[in-house]
Structure 1
């Protein structure tokens, strides 16, 4: 079998799907009946096709004589459906269907006369693009390391799985100093030139907010571009083209310093283009769970995790890049096709390993092609710019359809995948994605439509799906990506444990950064409703639970509706509902929003479609939130009827109960992928002095927990020789509350120290994170200034205190704030937002509950660092009468 399959479905879910799927479900048909007539089983249609991994493609495709391959089953279904009046089912028996080429479907593979062709799995049916890796033996001279011959036909891959658990491609710190050049780098020593295969190695530029000794190396806080080394000779590294130029030569406006014509991020890799870390070299193979494919020697290397017996494990190398490829056209769409009860797994995506690389813009879109940096998507702003503006290259789906009508995916599992999971692209219409899981995917979970001006996707319903623990490789990807579309509904899904934004809607709004209107597009009448989103933006910044940009319609009547969602516990710097550049005609109504960094709804942008100076028309109404913005009409931005919530229990029970997976589909929450394993390592570790003998460590928590919740984190302070000087463990709950670990007892005058962090669950501890930059602890004595601009936004029994961090933090980094209330309370404010807000100058807010109506209150706020509590700012206000 192809690795661990997801837990079998319960019969209740199958029954629910039969009852309520909008497209309908045919009568139950089993794969095990006696032959009847032309080959059907008792109670089945005679035209049905039967498939099993042990079948024979020379057989008739009956229940007693099933075929083996998906392609043969397709061809039989194509012939039989022509003369068949009714739904035709392709019965996929339990087991793994290995494929090196995708199952290609076109108009000939469509249902006839309003009926469907249904590819029906059992819940234990796997369509796999993987190849088994067998014959593992210990590597002489490398204790603990094993090798095996690469499977026949495997020339490259980016993913390896051991018993259904994703292994980490070798990675480590860049072992040399780097100075950027026009074509790559010069290095301080020639170490990399002596590696086995330097041109296999890939530089990763991990972005993020500059704070706590963490460097920003990418193309914006939301990106993680990747470029391969082309050649290493002596101390000269030549980087692969066009990735290098596409990431470093992006066109900038001559009269706006630093502003690119793409208007998305900087024009070149920041921090002098230094890589954050390096992947895919044999010389970096030093941590349990890491692997490397030596393509020249045709050998796979793996360093097993504790408790793994690699000689008897099911090891799968992802080989195929497509599993299912629906190739409709505008003139001949593929239509009336359903996939039910199927697991799609073990597919890869090799473009990032090629000279093209991964020159990211946002949400998995990249700049591609020779000289792509000079023209791609720059319509109207540069000579020869391709149109429409912002039409960059999307990440492909391992399962995809274009020009598909009445396409259905239900009760399926998208897991162990190397690109986007499912792509319903240009021209998709009247289609359904319901009751599926999306997890352990390298990039975006689900992609809908495109942004290239082609036929928009329309009337696509995405409901009752669980998307979690992604992205695993291209960390700027999102859960659901919806481009230029019409009449789409994204409702009753649960999205949790995500590295960046959960749902991304629209595109092309960036021109408002230079006073131009957003890109015209066909979008209208899209709805995002009743979703449950939490623990998102766990790795990157500048995103949201629901992120939208660009024109969403022609008026508030047909613009995007964001209603009834419950969104909480964001980690990165961003907003619950983020209405970004050019976001016009959006309604944000009746949501429950809390636990965001510095805003629940970001909504004010100038409307540049005319010269009137108004804001993009937006309605923010009847939400339950923490930011407490007063009612008003700010030049078209209408805020009305919102309520301050001091605790989640303040929110209406009906909104909370309705959000997320509907009862009939909640079985998707219990389906798990692979074996339980240790967590992924934490990321983006930074440090700050906490005194002469201590450091504070900050890092991004784990969002891929191995199927078992993270219980604790341990920070390890390392001497220059790599030995451990001290460690400190805190519970995961305490780290979530504080967002830092204090490591004390360091030797005075020692260091500089680097810090690594491990995460632990019930199964064990993760590999250590990549190390922080080195830092010497120093004594701190200078207190921070007082915060600025305090405001108290009041209701009857609660108030939101808003303030701006002080510009002068003294000689230490901020770790929190202390609030005092005139009723005698002291409130300690900690958390990720307290620390990321200071260097970026973002505002802070906290709700104070338990107040009395019609009562005056005085509140103070002071900054806290390792030096102590600074002076306070004071504000006074009176609660409403109630």
Structure 2
């Protein structure tokens, strides 16, 4: 066997040498063999994974200080066997476990199975995500908000089973946000019901989401007035194909809403037989963790042709809930600051140091890491993250290390992957440099945390987001957040459609904050096709909240509520809209503000827009160039 090839197979043995005939059985065994060779590499070292499912019992952790990096200018490659050939095999890395022992519930159509101390938020049935049992609206009757929760004149909630497992969802607490908060208890009499919410989440929500007028809290938007839906009670289990997780013990342990023993209830689809169906729940919160240090970054590692699935995230089920702020950011109890919305008259609370939704495959302080031709699917938080100044946890336990301790990630690439069926966002680049996000297909993300985008770029430099196809996203497709370290980001020739399917005040492509120090060092948004930005109060191309040094050139925008926005607070500064095609003029185009340049843009008829665009030579080039390319 060549010294630069190792083989792993589900039928192998970790005591074998890793040859094609005698493969290893697990990734940890392959990793030990890799570490023994990286110091003397004379070619790329390739670990070939044969077809099958590899169930991880802990995150596969690549550590720059432990010898997991490539050496002598060569790479360590973990790949599916046959990658790049006409017949690649499917190697699956799963952080889940099968659920067996299902039995019918007497007197009903539901089935149940014990899952022990696992507080899962996801269930996958024959490869399909089963939604949690849900009712709308979240509370029946006439609802009044109180300091500790809600009161309703309906007595129906008193019949709901296991109230402390119920989660109330507040869609649109800000137009771009959604909160998830747990119930602590339900009580009442024959006239009314009192819903007591779990703390500290409910108290924090009132601090985060209340607008301020003249410095005083105001409930003018009806924020948190009543939940839009309620999830996760067996009492809600009426829709076939849905599930609920119920606690078996009567008391929460130490205030932990997720503690104790649990049972899954599932209502089968008409053609499903739970006795023969495959049920999987996620156990791990991380599948792959890559980490380095200032002196020894993890570098020169490639993952390609793999399927990575069945990771979860249980923090939102805790007493703090999930208080979404914007994009991938949420409030975990840290200090809040106030920002002006309307020239000092209205203010909005924002987290000073927001937490980030974690990713199943997360890298911190890395160089030349490549994720190519993989599929990231059936995930309970985000899919992929490269972060510098705000590192991800390095274990599956969910701890948050101190922020700001890692250096930037550099020269990494996310190329040609498929990302789908993800609870959070697709790809997150935070404090990255020279990063490429290209030729990916990203769709049906934000399945649970609706504010998460397909692509998130924050405080990063020289990032290219190009030739991706992005669709069916509940909020914005691509978000670029500026800042002091941001600059030279390019969002080029992407196809973005059916975004903003749930929330509002976003866009197909959304930018906020200063993006550089000049047009040369700023952000370029060019050659993108952005269509079907669905819900009202949205923009196809959205330069928001003090965007500066942005060039928006040669894009096609149609079937949006509005193609672009010119006036925001704080105002735009040095933002140029040049040679774009859209089906309506932006509001205020005839009197643009001082920081905005409009030149050479073309309005085409809304009916027949695509035909008119294809008939224009420049428009035809935009249509032909946007979207995925082979490579």
- Using the size of structure 2 for normalisation, the TM-score is 0.85
Shift of 1:433: 0.7
Unmatched tracts of structure 2, length 5 or more: 82-88, 249-260, 342-349, 389-407, 614-618
CA deviations 1:819-872 (Å, max 9, x no partner) are xxxxxxxxxxxxxxxxxxxxxxxxxxxxxxxxxxxxxxxxxxxxxxxxxxxxxx
- Give the match for residue 706 of structure 1: none
Distance 2:94 2:611 in 1: 44
| SS across alignment from 1:332 | coil
Instruction: Note the 1:374-385 alignment, pairs <5 A.
Output: 375-376=335-336
Shift of 1:460: 0.6
CA deviations 1:334-392 (Å, max 9, x no partner) are 111110001111111101111121111111311103xx3xx1466999xxxxxx97531
Instruction: Note the 1:342-357 alignment, pairs <5 A.
Output: 342-357=306-321
Shift of 1:233: 4.0
- Give the match for residue 431 of structure 1: 412
Cα distance change on mapping 1:254 and 1:376 into 2, 3 Å: closer
Q: Is the 8 A contact 2:210 2:223 kept in 1?
A: no
**Higher RCO structure (Cα 8 Å, ≥6 apart):** 2
| SS across alignment from 1:585 | strand
- Give the match for residue 561 of structure 1: 524
Q: Is the 8 A contact 1:491 1:530 kept in 2?
A: yes
Distance 1:92 1:205 in 2: 43
| SS across alignment from 1:346 | strand
Cα distance change on mapping 1:220 and 1:605 into 2, 3 Å: closer
Equivalent pairs counted in the alignment come to: 567
Report the aligned-residue RMSD.
2.5
Instruction: Note the 1:205-244 alignment, pairs <5 A.
Output: 205-207=170-172, 219-234=173-188, 235-244=193-202
User: Among 348, 360, 374, which residue is 2:324 paired with?
Assistant: 360
Mapped pair 1:105 → 2:86: no
- Give the match for residue 148 of structure 2: 183
Q: Is the 8 A contact 1:281 1:292 kept in 2?
A: yes
Unmatched tracts of structure 1, length 5 or more: 1-39, 208-218, 260-265, 382-387, 450-455, 508-519, 609-614, 666-882
Shift of 1:447: 0.9
Distance 2:558 2:475 in 1: 17
Distance 1:82 1:269 in 2: 61
Distance 2:569 2:221 in 1: 29
CA deviations 1:736-759 (Å, max 9, x no partner) are xxxxxxxxxxxxxxxxxxxxxxxx
- Give the match for residue 68 of structure 1: 25
- Give the match for residue 104 of structure 2: 138
- Give the match for residue 545 of structure 1: 508
Q: Is the 8 A contact 1:204 1:276 kept in 2?
A: yes
Instruction: Note the 1:303-342 alignment, pairs <5 A.
Output: 303-342=267-306
Q: Is the 8 A contact 1:606 1:616 kept in 2?
A: no
Mapped pair 1:497 → 2:461: no
Shift of 1:413: 0.4
Mapped pair 1:440 → 2:424: no
Cα distance change on mapping 1:329 and 1:378 into 2, 3 Å: farther
Distance 1:267 1:96 in 2: 51
Greater strand percent: which structure? 2
| SS across alignment from 2:36 | helix
Distance 1:103 1:603 in 2: 46
| SS across alignment from 1:325 | strand
- Give the match for residue 408 of structure 1: 370
Shift of 1:474: 1.1
Distance 2:278 2:183 in 1: 32
Q: Is the 8 A contact 1:249 1:268 kept in 2?
A: no
Mapped pair 1:121 → 2:80: yes
| SS across alignment from 1:283 | helix
Shift of 1:444: 0.7
Instruction: Note the 1:474-485 alignment, pairs <5 A.
Output: 474-485=449-460
- Give the match for residue 353 of structure 2: 391
- Give the match for residue 257 of structure 2: none
Mapped pair 1:626 → 2:589: no
Distance 1:657 1:179 in 2: 54
Cα distance change on mapping 1:268 and 1:418 into 2, 3 Å: farther
Q: Is the 8 A contact 1:632 1:640 kept in 2?
A: no
Cα distance change on mapping 1:485 and 1:325 into 2, 3 Å: same
Q: Which moved more, 1:237-246 or 1:532-541?
A: 237-246
Q: Is the 8 A contact 1:286 1:303 kept in 2?
A: yes
CA deviations 1:198-230 (Å, max 9, x no partner) are 1111001122xxxxxxxxxxx211222100112
CA deviations 1:151-170 (Å, max 9, x no partner) are xx651111111111110111
Distance 2:224 2:409 in 1: 43
Shift of 1:239: 1.5
CA deviations 1:384-403 (Å, max 9, x no partner) are xxxx9753111000111011
Larger-gyration structure (1/2): 1
- Give the match for residue 10 of structure 2: 53
Cα distance change on mapping 1:130 and 1:268 into 2, 3 Å: farther
Mapped pair 1:290 → 2:224: no
Cα distance change on mapping 1:349 and 1:475 into 2, 3 Å: same
Distance 1:159 1:470 in 2: 14
Distance 1:81 1:171 in 2: 51
Cα distance change on mapping 1:128 and 1:253 into 2, 3 Å: closer
- Give the match for residue 660 of structure 1: 627
User: Among 200, 203, 206, which residue is 1:245 paired with?
Assistant: 203
Distance 1:254 1:604 in 2: 21
Q: Which moved more, 1:565-574 or 1:483-492?
A: 565-574
- Give the match for residue 22 of structure 1: none
Distance 2:458 2:434 in 1: 13
Distance 2:567 2:440 in 1: 32
- Give the match for residue 473 of structure 1: 448
Shift of 1:269: 8.4
CA deviations 1:98-137 (Å, max 9, x no partner) are 1131111110211111111111114511111111112322
Cα distance change on mapping 1:541 and 1:47 into 2, 3 Å: same
Shift of 1:62: 2.6
Shift of 1:649: 2.1
Distance 1:192 1:52 in 2: 51
Cα distance change on mapping 1:411 and 1:272 into 2, 3 Å: closer
Q: Is the 8 A contact 1:493 1:660 kept in 2?
A: yes
| SS across alignment from 2:472 | strand
- Give the match for residue 274 of structure 1: 226
- Using the size of structure 1 for normalisation, the TM-score is 0.61
CA deviations 1:21-57 (Å, max 9, x no partner) are xxxxxxxxxxxxxxxxxxx3xxxx3143321122222
Cα distance change on mapping 1:590 and 1:89 into 2, 3 Å: same
- Give the match for residue 840 of structure 1: none
Distance 1:502 1:271 in 2: 25
